[in-house]
Chain A
Amino acid sequence: MIHTRLKLNYSGFSLDVDLQLPGRGVTALYGHSGSGKTTCLRCIAGLEQAEQGFIQINDEVWQDSDKRIFVPPHKRALGYVFQEASLFPHLSVQANLEFGLRRIPRQQRRVDMAHATELLGIGHLLDRDPQNLSGGERQRIGIARALLTSPKLLLMDEPLAALDTQRKNEILPYLQRLHDELDIPVLYVSHSQDEVARLADHLVLLSDGKALASGPIGETLARLDLPLALGDDAGVVIEGHVSAYDADYQLLTLQLPNTELSIRVAHSPMAEGQALRCKVQARDVSLSLQGVEQSSILNRLPVTVISEIGADNAAHVLIRLNAAGTPLLARITRYSRDQLGVHPGQQLWAQIKAVAVLA
């Protein structure tokens, strides 16, 4: 369990958050620039000191301003990945990687050089000079360098923001591997919904120095009372488990959590039981009264209407749906809403036109 309570005032900016976050998996701190997400991360690292603060990572207290406790950053078992890789220019790649590793007592090392270089795919870069690497390579080394301190918490401050799309796509699979293979809780600061949807298990939405929401990613993205729901990008993240694979049609059947419902997506073969994360955008979900219908649409789920709000334009509304426990969002026209007589509690069929596989 990670508990952070921070109060801080700069001229023109104040941060006031009280967060209880899971002690495992990836937690995204999501918000626009100026929302306080980076300040939050820097306070947790001890790079900045909140006037009033309490920071506890599992059983270790890093700050307790009431008891005048402030552990300096170099005594906190954390790894920090900055937006720019910030490799030391006077050291080789190998020496950069060893910088933190050498400062950790041998018996506390849980990530070794071979494992870290293999995880990030940087074994061939060790003898190079940091100046002669691409942005993506530098950032992978920055991540490995942080991991080699065997942190109890990994803090990542928009590690992909300084990279172009191609470099981002080069790094994302590595980040997903970290998530799958290492048991280190991660706080991931980002303003990209796409990154958050792909990587995070838990989402904290920050705005103007306050936490508007904090919860599991699927639920939080589907909440209509948050600014996340607005805009063209609105959608939900579903994490299901592979239950079957149709090699003939190359379709994967994905069972939704805690239900018999499933969706099918075009995908390469995967073993049964493996977890797969998908994003379903609100604009790709339509609603109908009848379940049986001849159509090219693959996925059709029985849903219950929960609530509705106006979308970002006057012609549309967003409908929040419940598919046997899995939240869904549908973006439909106001006209269709009236034609179908959509109201809370109503049973409908949701037709999903597209499912984007995230991981």
Chain B
Amino acid sequence: MTLSSADYSAIWLTLKLASLTTVILLVIGTPIALWLSRTRSWLRSPVGAIVALPLVLPPTVIGFYLLLALGPNGWIGQLTQSLGLGTLTFSFAGLVIGSVLYSMPFVIQPLQNAFSAIGTRPLEVAATLRANPWDTFFSVIVPLARPGFITAAILGFAHTVGEFGVVLMIGGNIPDKTRVVSVQIYDHVEAMEYAQAHWLAGAMLVFSFVVLLALYSSRKTKAVWS
């Protein structure tokens, strides 16, 4: 008894979803985290709270509101329909949107902490050495915040792999399109296929442990700003 082709398809879909979500989150999360770590605006706290919301909300709540927004009568749904894209509910694109929201704090918060830890001095030094802000970002901020980027990517990826509630609410259970590993396990259990469920659940367990092990071992050395 090993994994079925439906299981492999679910695994592939999950990896694709998690990779895409992580890349999108690193791209949009970096400027948000940079802004949160530098701004003195009153908007800092509200934005920080919104970013952290997925940490505390039940995934079904996020899924519910997304379902409304992405659906045919929701504002995003209206927009996608007017662009000729149809609605995004029960599609892979819809899952990506849901996952980005759901995993957002796991990417933004490590980045924000890493940027805050750098402080303003290295940026001032770079400016007095003629580096413009973009130059400073790539030649000073990124290398100094590297551990933060690694943590953010690992956590964002792993958290998306573990997603269940949001997927079920907005993506349903469509093979090859929205049926990810966590949903597949649920299906197996519902169908009393415990052996199948064991294989997948065990694989998830090992995967999660390895990810966290890699994360904690990478934190041994820490650069000191001098």
Considering the complex, give the chain A residue whose CB is closest to the CB of B136: A74
A78 and B226 contact, Cβ closer than 8 Å, known pairs A86-B122, A88-B140:
no
The docked-state distance in angstroms from the alpha carbon of A131 to that of B226 is: 7
Q: Is B193 an interface residue (CB 8 A)?
A: no
**B118-137 contact mask (Cβ, 8 Å, vs A): 1 or 0:** 00011011111111110110
Q: Which of A74, A78, A87, A145 lies in contact with B131, CB distance below 8 A?
A: A74
Residues of A120-158 at the interface with B, using a CB-CB cut-off of 8 Å, are 130-131, 138, 145-146, 149
Out of A45, A74, A88, name the residue touching B130 (CB < 8 Å). Answer: A74
Q: Is B96 an interface residue (CB 8 A)?
A: no
Q: A86-B121, A89-B224, A89-B226 are in contact. Are A103 and B131 (CB under 8 A)?
A: yes
Instruction: Indicate whether A174 reaches chain B with its CB closer than 8 angstroms.
Output: no
Asked if residues B143 and A90 are in contact (CB atoms below 8 Å), the reply is: yes
Decide if B225 is an interface residue (CB 8 Å cutoff).
yes
Q: Which of A51-78 contact B (CB under 8 A)?
A: 72-75, 78
Q: List, in ascending order, chain A residues with CB within 8 A of B57's CB.
A: none
CA distance A146 to B133 in the complex (A): 18
Known: A47-B127, A89-B225. 11 other contacts (CB 8 A): A45-B128, A47-B128, A72-B127, A73-B127, A74-B133, A75-B130, A88-B144, A100-B129, A130-B226, A149-B129, A149-B130
Closest A residue, CB atoms, query B119: A86
Given A73-B124, A90-B143, verify A85-B226 contact (CB < 8 Å): yes
Whether the Cβ atoms of A47 and B143 lie closer than 8 Å is no
A100 contacts B130, CB within 8 Å?
A: yes
Query: What separation, in Å, do the CA atoms of A89 and B143 have in the docked complex?
Result: 10
* Chain B interface mostly: helix
- What total of A-B pairs shows CB separation below 8 Å? 72
Closest chain A residue to B125, Cβ basis: A86
- Report if A266 contacts B (CB, 8 A): no
A66 and B121 CA atoms in complex are apart in Å by 29
Contact A84 B226, CB 8 Å, known A90-B143, A90-B144: yes
Residue pair A73, B128 in contact (C-beta under 8 Å)? yes
Q: Is the CB of A47 within 8 A of B132?
A: no
Distance, CA A149 to CA B129, complexed state (A): 7
Q: How far is the CB of A44 from chain B (nearest CB, A)?
A: 11
B223 CB within 8 Å of chain A: yes
A97 to chain B, nearest CB (A): 10
A94-120 CB mask vs B (1 if < 8 Å, else 0) is 000001100110000000000000000
Q: Closest residue to A80 on the B side, CB-wise?
A: B128
**Docked pose: A138 CA to B223 CA in angstroms:** 16
Chain A interface extent, by class = 20 to 34
Chain B: interface residue count, which band? 20 to 34
Question: Which residue from B127, B128, B139 sits with its C-beta under 8 Å from A146?
Answer: B128
Q: Which residue of A lies closest to B139 (CB)?
A: A99
Give me 18 A-to-B residue pairs in the complex whose CB atoms sit less than 8 angstroms apart, sorted by A's number: A46-B127, A47-B127, A47-B128, A72-B132, A74-B127, A74-B129, A74-B136, A80-B124, A80-B128, A82-B121, A84-B226, A89-B223, A90-B223, A130-B226, A138-B226, A146-B128, A149-B128, A149-B129
Nearest CB in chain B to that of A48: its residue: B124
The smallest beta-carbon distance between A176 and chain B, in angstroms, is 23
Enumerate chain A residues within 8 angstroms of B129, measured Cβ to Cβ.
74, 99-100, 103, 145-146, 149
Q: How far is the CA of A74 from the CA of B135 in the complex (A)?
A: 10
| B127 lies within 8 A of A89 (CB) | no
B144 A78 Cβ-Cβ under 8 A: no
Q: Which residue of A lies closest to B144 (CB)?
A: A90
Is A185 interfacial (CB-CB < 8 Å)? no
CA A73 to CA B125, docked complex, whole Å? 10
The residue on A at minimum CB distance from B225 is: A89
Instruction: Tell which of B124, B125, B130, B140 touches A103, judged by Cβ atoms closer than 8 Å.
Output: B130
CB-CB nearest in chain B for A77: B130
A79 at the interface (CB under 8 A from B): yes
Pairwise interchain contact A88-B122, C-beta atoms closer than 8 A: yes
Chain A, residue nearest B124 (CB): A47
CA distance A72 to B132 in the complex (A): 9
Bound: A72/B128 CA distance, A: 10
A82 to B121 CA separation, bound complex (whole angstroms) = 9
Contacts of A72 on B, CB cut-off 8 Å? Answer: 127, 132
* Distance to closest chain B CB from A13 (angstroms): 17
Top 4 nearest A-B pairs (CB, nearest first) are A100-B129, A80-B128, A103-B130, A73-B127
Known contacts A84-B226, A138-B226; is A89 also within 8 Å of B128 by CB?
Answer: no
A323–B136 alpha-carbon span in the complex (Å):
55
Instruction: Give 1 or 0 for each of A244-255: 1 = CB within 8 Å of chain B CB.
Output: 000000000000
Rounded to whole angstroms, the CA-CA distance of A130 and B226 in the bound complex is 8
Interchain nearest-CB distance for A323 vs B (Å): 43
Bound: A70/B122 CA distance, A: 21
Tell me the smallest distance from the CB of B142 to a CB of chain A, in Å. 10
Contact of B226 among A45, A73, A87, A103 (CB under 8 A): A87
CB distance from B56 to the nearest CB of A (A): 35
- Cβ contact within 8 Å between A74 and B226: no
